[in-house]
Amino acid sequence: MKIIAGNWKMNGTKENLIKMIHDLSELSTENKIILCVPFTMLDTDSGKISIGAQDVSQHAHGAYTGEVSAKMIADTGAKYVIVGHSECRQYHGDTNDTVRKKSAQALANGLTPIICVGETMDEKQAGKTMEIIESGVRESVPTDASADNIIIAYEPRWAIGAGLTPTREEIATAHTLIAKTLTEMGLDGAPVLYGASVKGSNAADIMSVTNVNGVLVGGASLKSDDFIPIITSVK
Ligand code: PEP
C-alpha cells in the first residue's frame, strides 16, 4: 500500500472536487488517497478519499486575522494537513521552527501533519542537500509525534512544478537519510513521500525506490485523467 496525496494548491472549485471524488470512487486500489484542498472545500463529502488542508496556524485561537486553526480544520472532518510546503516556506516565511509549532497544533487536534522538507537549488549547488534534509526533519517534527501520526514528504524545492526530477539515486539517498533520521528520533516506520513533478509516466519508477512510501503530487492531481494513472501505477 502506498500513500498518494494530491496538493491542489490554490486551484479548483467544490464542483471540481466533487467530480474528482466521483471519478476516484470508481477505482479499485489498495493505495491510500489523500486530497489536500483549499480551506473552502474541506467539508466536502469524500467517501473513502481522505481530505486534508494545505496549511494551519501555529496558534490555537485568537487575533490572527485570516488564519485557520487546527481545531477548525478538524471540525470540517478533514484528517490531514500539509505543513511547511516549500511555497509556505518561500512566500510566508515558514521556518523549521514554525513548521514544528504548526505540526504540534495539528497533532493536538487529531490531524496528521504531512511535513515537507527539501532543499532549494542554491542549497543543492552549495552541497547542502543532506544537511538541509536532516535538519528539516529533526527541527520540524514535534517531540510528541509518533510513527503513526505523522507523514514526511521529501520535496526537492528546485524540482517542484518545474518538470524536473532528481535521479533514482538522489531520491534513494534522501529517503534513506530521512528513514535513518526518523529511526534515531524514535519514529521508525513513519511514512516518507516523495514530491516534485510526479506524473503517470514516472510514478511507478519513483515509488519503487527504496524507502519511498508514496508520493505528494501537485499539478498532476488536479485532473482525474492525470491523477488516476499515478494511483493505479502501483499496487
Ligand atoms: C507540490 O507542490 O507539492 C508538488 C509536488 O508540485 P508538482 O507535483 O506540481 O511539482
The per-residue b/e assignment along 200-211, b for 16 or more CB within 10 angstroms, e otherwise, is beebeebbebeb
Per-residue model confidence (pLDDT) at position 33: 98
Per-residue model confidence (pLDDT) at position 9: 98
Q: Does residue 35 sit in helix, strand or coil?
A: strand
Nearest CA to ligand 1 atom 3: 218
Is there an atom of ligand 1 within 6 Å of 230 CB? Answer: no
Is there an atom of ligand 1 within 6 Å of 86 CB? Answer: no
Per-residue model confidence (pLDDT) at position 235: 81
Residues taking part in catalysis: 85, 155
Q: Which pairing describes strands 151-154 and 80-83: parallel, antiparallel, or unpaired?
A: unpaired
Q: What is the residue type of 13?
A: T
Nearest CA to ligand 1 atom 6: 218
Q: Please tell me the total number of residues recorded for the chain in this structure.
A: 235
CA of 4 from ligand 1 middle (Å) equals 12
Is there an atom of ligand 1 within 6 Å of 69 CB? Answer: no
CA of 38 from ligand 1 middle (Å) equals 15
Residues of the chain with pLDDT under 70: none
Per-residue model confidence (pLDDT) at position 163: 85
Query: Which of 224, 233, 225 is CA-nearest to residue 201?
Result: 233
Per-residue model confidence (pLDDT) at position 22: 97
Is there an atom of ligand 1 within 6 Å of 196 CB? Answer: yes
CA of 7 from ligand 1 middle (Å) equals 7
